């Protein structure tokens, strides 16, 4: 496990101000938006986690004592347990509503919440990937007080009720008689200090609502429901706390010409009846530009031609899906007299006989069926 003090580059005796200053310096340096090194995101997460532990007096005390923020000195999950598998401290809290030991004042600094937004992309953008510029409304660290919550030039004062401990003792009657329990100080809400002169900009919150612009890289191959995690781009935490993560969920728009099925694309190509019968060369407009399509003589309606590697880029892996072209043969709906006469001549040459507009004899399917029935 990475030593939290080493991660922040401070000594074990560093003051809270030194820890906060070092974190902000490293966060600006390692943030994925400004640092494209392969390990920048992992280092940013490690620095943020280290700050979450060391900026909280209670967590820091536990970490300094046990070397583990979970409070387990041996790292196997064992804590202050008796031989039967339960802790005496848990019993104490169950009966008396407090803790068997003082944990010190609470920290105002907390991690911000994660945020989720939806971004719509066109199918062509999903095929190749795209950079999207977003405007998001979120909580950001107050620039007036730099997250300290106090009006510039002032500082929190030590609570005169709990004298900075964040806790007070109070008597409580129990089955064992009167006992003293610890509770959060009502005067300072357990923080050990009070902000007498809060920042006018953020009203003592250490953060404000603001709209900011963010450019994200949408990778090729995303689909509706795909989520991208942006570390440290969510809501800024109270009192200068680290920001949460931003999750960007994709919604791919329908395309008028192509239908997506996984990483394959489907398109319909309309071909005149004569072209399907005689064969021809056509072009199809795709996301990769115009592609030649060879229609063989006698092509039937519903035939499918596959254009390889012209589909959607695989999100995980290499290569692309295919483009499947479905042939639709166009039949004349309202032929004029000349066209109708030519169609009748074609039918006669094919051995097809029409009576009152009905096909009654054909050298094709009907002839085969007649011969089969005649042999029964």
CATH code (residue 26)? 1.10.287.110
Look at 12-21, 185-194, 347-356 and tell me which has the smallest mean pLDDT: 347-356
Of the candidate ranges 166-180, 220-234, 247-261, the one whose mean pLDDT is the lowest? 166-180
Helix residue ranges per DSSP H, 31-117: 40-54, 57-66, 88-96
- Residue where the block lists tokens 């806790």: 167
DSSP characters over 225-288? T-EEEETT-SPPPGGGPPP--EEEEEEEPP-SS-EEETTEEEEEEEEEHHHHHH-EEEEEEETT
Same domain? 260 vs 127: no
201 against 34, higher pLDDT = 201
Flag whether 41 is in a domain.
yes
pLDDT > 90: percent of the chain: 50
| DSSP secondary structure letters along 151-189 | PTT---EE-TTTTTSSEEEEEEEETTEEEEEEEE-TTTT
User: What's the rounded Cα separation, in Å, for the pair 154 and 163?
Assistant: 19
Q: Based on the domain organization, do 273 and 310 belong to the same domain? A: yes
Q: Are residues 275 and 305 in the same domain?
A: yes
Residues 32 and 129 in one domain: no
Distance between start and end Cα atoms, the chain: 86
Asked if residue 91 is part of any domain, the answer here is no
- Regarding whether 35 and 120 lie in a shared domain, the answer is no
pLDDT value of residue 70? 65
Is the same domain home to 314 and 351? Answer: no
Is 162 annotated to bind a ligand? Reply is yes
Question: CB of 285 within 8 A of CB of 278?
Answer: no
Q: Of the given ranges (67-81, 136-150, 219-233, 309-323), which has the lowest mean pLDDT?
A: 67-81
Q: Is the pLDDT of residue 363 over 60?
A: no
Whether residue 29 is found in the same domain as residue 67:
yes
Asked whether residue 142 is marked as a ligand-binding residue, the answer is yes
Measured CA to CA, the distance from residue 199 to residue 144 in angstroms comes to 7
Per-residue pLDDT, averaged over 282-297, amounts to 94
**CA-to-CA dists, residue 225 to 64, 121, 122, 248, 316, angstroms:** 43, 12, 14, 9, 15
Q: Is residue 94 part of a domain?
A: no
Lowest mean pLDDT among 14-28, 193-207, 300-314: 14-28
Q: Is 149 annotated as a binding residue?
A: no
Q: 308 and 213: one domain?
A: no
pLDDT beyond 50 at 74? no
Q: Which residues of 233-251 are buried (b: 16+ CB within 10 A; e: fewer)?
A: bbbbbbbbbbbbbbbbebe
Q: Give the mean model confidence (pLDDT) for residues 212-237.
A: 93
Which tens digits make up the pLDDT trace of 141-175?
Answer: 999 999 999 999 999 999 999 989 888 887 777 66
Answer whether residue 275 is part of any domain.
yes
User: Total structural domains in the chain?
Assistant: 4
Q: Which residue has the tokens 């040459």?
A: 349
- Give the range of the structural domain holding residue 327, as residue numbers without chain letter: 254-331
Q: Which residue has the higher pLDDT, 50 or 366?
A: 50
Q: What is the pLDDT of residue 64?
A: 81
For residues 126 and 265, is the Cβ–Cβ distance under 8 A? Answer: no
> Are the C-beta atoms of residues 191 and 206 closer than 8 Å to each other?
no
Name residue, tokens 């680290």. Answer: 242
Residue 150 assigned to a binding site? no
Tokens read off for 250: 């994709």
Residue 75: the pLDDT is 44
Q: Are residues 9 and 43 in the same domain?
A: yes
Residue 101 has pLDDT above 70, yes or no: no
To the question of whether residue 188 is assigned a binding role by annotation, the answer is yes
Q: What is the pLDDT of residues 267-279, one digit of tens each?
A: 999 999 989 999 9
Does the pLDDT value for residue 140 go beyond 90?
Answer: yes
Does residue 205 share a domain with residue 127? yes
Helices (H) and strands (E) in the chain, counts: 9, 17
- pTM (two decimals): 0.64
Tell me how far apart the alpha carbons of residues 265 and 311 are, in angstroms, rounded to a whole number: 5
Lowest mean pLDDT, pick from 31-40, 79-88, 103-112: 79-88
Q: Is residue 375 part of a domain?
A: yes
pLDDT at 91 over 70: no
Q: Is residue 119 part of a domain?
A: yes
Q: The domain that contains 305 carries what CATH number?
A: 2.60.260.20
* The domain boundary residue, chosen from 253, 268, 289: 253
Give the rounded percent of residues in the chain with a pLDDT score beyond 70: 83
Give the angle subtended at the CA of 176 by the CAs of 174 and 177, to the nearest 5°.
65
Residues 50 and 7 in one domain: yes
| Predicted pLDDT of residue 193 | 92
């Amino acid at each position: 496990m990475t030593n939290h003090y080493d991660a922040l580059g401070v000594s074990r005796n560093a003051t809270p101000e030194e820890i906060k200053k070092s974190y902000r310096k490293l966060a600006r340096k390692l943030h994925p938006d400004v640092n494209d090194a392969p390990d920048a995101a992992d280092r940013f997460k490690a620095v943020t986690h280290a700050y979450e532990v060391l900026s909280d007096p209670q967590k820091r005390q536990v970490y300094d004592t046990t070397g583990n923020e979970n409070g387990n000195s041996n790292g196997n999950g064992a804590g202050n347990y008796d031989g039967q598998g339960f802790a005496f401290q848990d019993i104490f809290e169950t009966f008396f509503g407090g803790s068997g030991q003082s944990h010190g004042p609470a920290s105002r600094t907390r991690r911000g919440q994660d945020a989720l937004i939806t971004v719509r992309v066109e199918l062509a953008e999903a095929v190749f990937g795209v950079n999207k510029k977003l405007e998001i409304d979120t909580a950001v660290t107050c620039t007036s007080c730099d997250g300290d919550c106090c009006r510039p030039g002032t500082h929190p004062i030590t609570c005169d009720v709990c004298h900075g401990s964040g806790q007070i003792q109070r008597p409580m009657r129990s089955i064992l008689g009167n006992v003293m329990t610890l509770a959060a100080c009502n005067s300072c809400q357990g923080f050990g200090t009070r902000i007498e002169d809060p920042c006018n900009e953020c009203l003592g919150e250490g953060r404000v609502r603001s709209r900011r612009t963010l450019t994200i890289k949408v990778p090729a191959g995303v689909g509706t429901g795909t989520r991208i995690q942006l570390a440290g781009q969510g809501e800024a935490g109270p009192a200068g706390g680290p920001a949460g993560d931003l999750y960007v969920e994709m919604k791919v728009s329908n395309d008028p010409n192509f239908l997506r099925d996984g990483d394959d694309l489907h398109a319909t190509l309309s071909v005149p009846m004569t072209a399907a019968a005689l064969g021809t060369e056509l072009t199809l407009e795709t996301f990769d530009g115009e592609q030649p399509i060879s229609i063989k003589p006698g092509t039937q309606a519903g035939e499918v031609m596959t254009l390889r590697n012209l589909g959607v880029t695989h999100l995980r892996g290499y290569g692309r899906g295919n483009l499947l072209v479905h042939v639709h043969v166009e039949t004349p709906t309202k032929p004029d007299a000349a066209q109708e006469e030519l169609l009748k001549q074609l039918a006669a040459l094919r051995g097809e006989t029409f009576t009152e507009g009905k096909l009654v004899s054909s050298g094709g399917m009907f002839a085969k069926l007649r011969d089969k029935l005649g042999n029964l």
